[in-house]
Structure 1
Amino acid sequence: MKKNRLLAKWLNDDLSPDELAEFEASPDFEKYQKIKNYTAHLETGDLDENAMLSNILSQKKTVTKVVPLYKKWAFKAAAIFVLALGITFAMKVFVPQTETADFGKKTAFSLPDNSEVVLNSGSEIHYKKWNWDKNRHLELKGEAYFKVAKGRKFEVQTNLGKVTVLGTQFNVKARKNRFDVVCYEGRVKVNYNNIQVLLTHGQSVRFENGKQIQRTVNALQPEWMNDQICFYKENIRSLLDEVERQYNIKIELNTKDTISLFTGKLPAKNLNTALQIISTTYHLEAKKVSDNKIIFDEK
């Protein structure tokens, strides 16, 4: 510390004679003297503090932005989330949609134009949401009731035929080789092979094994919507197939009488009553061999 103090005083020529003698006797004096002699010719201009301040303020500050690591992860997570939303949207809009009703159940849903659909047991529908208002077309397997919103042509395609409407209420059933259409409101056009039929309120048509049957229906909507199974001149095997769908059971039939036709109604929510009506009509005996299997034997 004393050495540094002496050096500072020597540079300012403030040393007393004794201090100067002591400093000159130090081993580093010669080195200090050379440095002093070398820098003696250098001149330093006056410092203009105001000019320096103005220069600093006029310069555009460059700020280096540091993004914390956690924010980088947040950006990545947000990007993945947006991508996932885009994929989900595309799946919902462009990929064909499927609605199903399992055995023993019904499914109600709305189409993009708010048309209402109810699927009966063991049925399914396929359609596309994309451009729906201009192409109202769907494919049906099984049976469904439609309440169509007004708009462009509305088509229901089945493996047996096609139904075309503008805005109405109707029921379509396509099971095995039988195609049924009932109009409850408005008008529907039915195409079956090379046959075209126009139905109005309260009219129905059936195509089966090359035969066409038209009749009048006095109902506001299908009976199955009110948990009743309605049959019109139905053979026993087709009748039991529908009971299997409604109750989600298996039925084994041991009888020679498969020709007699049934016209009437069966409950869709009371299996014992339904089995009793079938047994009485066809002179059969129903046996429950398990919770989901019934055997009909001749009496």
Structure 2
Amino acid sequence: MKKNQLLAKWLNNDLSEDELAAFEASPDFEKYQKIKNYTDLLVVDDLNEDMMLATILKQKKVTPKVVPLYRKRYFQVAALLVLALGITLTFKLATNKTETADFGKQTSFTLPDNSEVVLNSGSEIGYKNWNWDNNRHLDLQGEAYFRVAKGKRFEVQTKLGKVAVLGTQFNVKTRKNRFDVVCYEGRVQVNYANKQIVLTHGQGVSFENGKQLKLDVAVSKPEWIDHNISFYKENIRTILDEVERQYNITIELNAKDTTSLFTGKLPAQNLDTALQIISTTYDLKVEKVSKNKIIIDEK
């Protein structure tokens, strides 16, 4: 049986038990049921039957136009499909949009105002695609680099602080209790706790456990864009967490000293070299247990 005929019989409650069971098991049944439920909620005002009858009797009698039953069913199906398309489009426009970058990967995408965003490994960003001009707000978990379209403005909210921007290039990073913001072009306004700081070209700021650090910026864009992991006064556990994200691996650390701070770079596409730098810096021993698991012990 053709789909439009099947839908028409279903709308008229003409399906046999076997036909109804097969239709309810189809992948599209839930969609059609939702649409039918929406149409069932439509109501019209009560009619004044006496007034309607009087009006009809006054009108000139004409020969009624007969519409075949199969054509009425086709019209019902067509209206049903149009309604489905409208509801689907409305849902898509009204729902939040989420972009993610899995461990070991980066993701690039464009916002509705043509601003460009690059997500670092293990990061996620959400925003409302609908009515963007009146709701320029993004929620970030992890790290992202923004190239804001000229003259455009929006806010980036993280669990630790907020960044307001206007026509600029900047990087935002949140990891546990650390919040880093670097401005590569233009200006950004950083809000952290009760502090408000304006950064301009070549300036950066970091907050960790409420303590503020000034970041020195000597590059024109984040180094992770070119597959290098950059650290500034960070402990070994934080460093290994970032290595896990970039390489999609698990690292078990067995060391007493985890407070010594490291400033420098690690490659994001050569795990052996990255591990060698870490082991040499902290005087540790690295053992590969499997393809995706590393154990680091004291020597």
CA RMSD of aligned residues (A): 1.9
Corresponding residue number in structure 2 for 1:291 = 291
Secondary structure at the counterpart of residue 150 of structure 2: coil
Corresponding residue number in structure 1 for 2:46 = none
Quick one: which amino acid aligns to residue 148 of structure 1?
A: V
Corresponding residue number in structure 1 for 2:136 = 136
Quick one: which amino acid aligns to residue 214 of structure 2?
A: Q
Answer yes or no: is the 8 Å Cα contact 1:149–1:168 preserved in 2.
yes
Query: In 2, Cα distance between the equivalents of 1:267 and 1:249?
Result: 15
Answer yes or no: is the 8 Å Cα contact 1:133–1:152 preserved in 2.
no
Answer yes or no: is the 8 Å Cα contact 1:133–1:151 preserved in 2.
no
Answer yes or no: is the 8 Å Cα contact 1:170–1:185 preserved in 2.
yes
Corresponding residue number in structure 2 for 1:110 = 110
Quick one: which amino acid aligns to residue 257 of structure 1?
A: D
Tell me how far 1:152 sits from its aligned partner: 5.1
Corresponding residue number in structure 2 for 1:250 = 250
Q: What stretches of structure 1 of length at least 5 have no aligned partner? A: 1-59
Quick one: which amino acid aligns to residue 282 of structure 1?
A: Y
Normalising by structure 1, report the TM-score.
0.75
Query: In 2, Cα distance between the equivalents of 1:271 and 1:91?
Result: 43
Query: In 2, Cα distance between the equivalents of 1:218 and 1:266?
Result: 16
Deviates more, 1:260-269 or 1:84-93: 84-93
Corresponding residue number in structure 1 for 2:195 = 195
Tell me how far 1:63 sits from its aligned partner: 8.0
Mapping of 1:1-299 within 5 angstroms? 64-67=65-68, 69=70, 71-72=71-72, 74-151=74-151, 153-299=153-299
Quick one: which amino acid aligns to residue 126 of structure 2?
A: H
Tell me how far 1:149 sits from its aligned partner: 1.5
Secondary structure at the counterpart of residue 85 of structure 1: helix
Q: How many residues matched?
A: 239
Tell me how far 1:80 sits from its aligned partner: 3.3
Quick one: which amino acid aligns to residue 87 of structure 1?
A: I
Identity within the alignment, %: 71
Deviates more, 1:279-288 or 1:193-202: 279-288
Tell me how far 1:73 sits from its aligned partner: 5.1
Q: Highest CA radius of gyration, 1 or 2?
A: 1
Deviations 1:173-214 (A, max 9, x none): 011100000001100000100111110011100001221111
Q: What stretches of structure 2 of length at least 5 have no aligned partner? A: 1-60
Normalising by structure 2, report the TM-score.
0.75
